């Protein structure tokens, strides 16, 4: 049993020894919230009774859900463990009687003080040096799996655990595979003033994360995230020759939504960068559960493109104008 699997199973088992689990909230800010998308999407699709929430930390504090209470689990994340809004959200959750699980990269930080359980996840600027099954987004899926399996039961539990066992090889193979394409992309896209991110189903969280955390925050490129299914209900009107779209094509049930958007963008000559999970090894995972890994795979593959783009633009991913520099 892997470290991540054991951590998740032990924590959920311990919580269930003290209370029931009827509601789960994923709470965080920015990339720490979008990193929870895989777990949220999995529970949305597979849970019959569990209520699932996904909410930014400060809204959780100011508009606290009335249902929050004894039989709730609140899963929070903060890279450095000191995001003020997330620490406050953990405090509120505890005050309401919920069990709190804090995911951090930096231990011994304020979020840890307000979390009943702490998970230290892996992270690195060069992601190929870490185990992708122990990264923040992967832990969201591990925890969601254990919550479902230990409450309602999950018939495909073994398949999903098996998929995790193969996932590192899939990720590292995909990261090697896209190296050349990432360099081409960086050269051709480095001067774009706006880039629209698209995705659906398991990969929409990765698309939103790329838009707000990389393009807007780290590269200062105007961006918006558009769900492939929502594209035809307003956003497609901006499509014309050369309009830049990056579409994260997922595997599984929502792929037809992506296919439809791709056909339209190509028909009207938009500038399209397609990152297709089916061509990056997702098919090597068990068919019944592979789609739940699409967002995780897209996150890991995008890291390669992001480093190439930052280098081509001479704009390091660590560059900030306001964050951590001014009062806000």
What does the pLDDT read at residue 75?
A: 99
Bridge partners, 104 (sequence order): 78, 120
Bridge partners, 27 (sequence order): 55, 76
3 state SS of 296: helix
The count of residues in the chain is 328
What does the pLDDT read at residue 124?
A: 83
Q: Are the folds of 3-154 and 168-311 the same?
A: yes
What does the pLDDT read at residue 257?
A: 99
Q: What CATH class is the domain 3-154? A: alpha beta
What does the pLDDT read at residue 29?
A: 99
Each domain of the chain, given as residue ranges in start order, spans: 3-154, 168-311
- The string of pLDDT tens digits covering residues 277-308 is 999 999 999 999 999 999 999 999 999 999 99
Please tell me whether the overall predicted TM-score, pTM, comes out greater than 0.95 for this model: yes
Q: Give just the sign of the alpha carbon dihedral 298, 2, 57, 230.
A: positive
What does the pLDDT read at residue 128?
A: 75
- The string of pLDDT tens digits covering residues 139-186 is 999 999 999 999 999 999 999 999 999 999 999 999 999 999 999 999
Closest to 170 measured CA to CA, from 248, 282, 278 = 282
The string of DSSP letters for 9-62 reads HHHHHHHHTTS---EEEEEESTHHHHTTHHHHHHHHHH-SS-EEEEEEHHHHHH
pLDDT below 50 — which residues of the chain?
Answer: none
- Name the CATH superfamily for 168-311: Glucose-6-phosphate isomerase like protein; domain 1 (3.40.50.10490)
């Amino acid at each position: 049993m892997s470290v991540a699997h054991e951590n998740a199973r032990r924590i959920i088992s311990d919580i269930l020894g003290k209370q029931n689990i009827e509601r789960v909230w994923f709470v965080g800010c920015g990339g720490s919230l979008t990193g929870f998308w895989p777990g949220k999407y999995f529970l949305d699709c597979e849970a019959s009774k569990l209520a699932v929430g996904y909410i930014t930390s400060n809204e959780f504090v100011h508009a606290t859900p009335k249902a929050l209470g004894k039989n709730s689990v609140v899963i929070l994340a903060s890279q450095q463990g000191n995001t003020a809004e997330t620490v406050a959200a953990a405090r509120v959750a505890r005050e309401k009687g919920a069990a709190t699980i804090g995911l951090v990269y930096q231990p011994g930080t304020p979020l840890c003080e307000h979390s009943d359980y702490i998970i230290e996840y892996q992270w690195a600027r060069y992601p190929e040096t870490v185990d992708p099954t122990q990264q923040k987004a992967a832990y969201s899926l591990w925890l969601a799996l254990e919550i479902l399996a230990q409450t309602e039961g999950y018939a495909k539990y073994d398949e999903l655990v098996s998929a995790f066992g193969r996932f590192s090889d899939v990720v590292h193979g995909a990261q090697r595979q896209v190296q050349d394409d990432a360099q081409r992309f960086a050269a051709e896209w480095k001067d774009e003033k706006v880039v629209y991110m698209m995705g659906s189903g398991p990969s929409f969280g990765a698309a939103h994360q790329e838009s707000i955390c990389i393009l807007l925050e780290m590269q200062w490129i105007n961006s918006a995230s558009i769900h492939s299914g929502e594209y035809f209900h307003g956003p497609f009107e901006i499509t014309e020759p050369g309009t830049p779209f990056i579409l994260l094509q997922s595997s599984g049930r929502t792929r037809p939504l992506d296919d439809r958007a791709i056909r339209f963008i190509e028909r009207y000559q938009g500038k399209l960068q397609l990152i297709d999970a089916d061509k990056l090894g997702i098919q090597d995972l068990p068919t019944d559960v592979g789609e739940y890994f699409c967002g995780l795979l897209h996150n890991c593959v995008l890291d390669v493109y992001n480093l190439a783009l930052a280098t081509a633009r001479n704009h390091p991913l660590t560059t900030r104008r306001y964050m951590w520099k001014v009062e806000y």
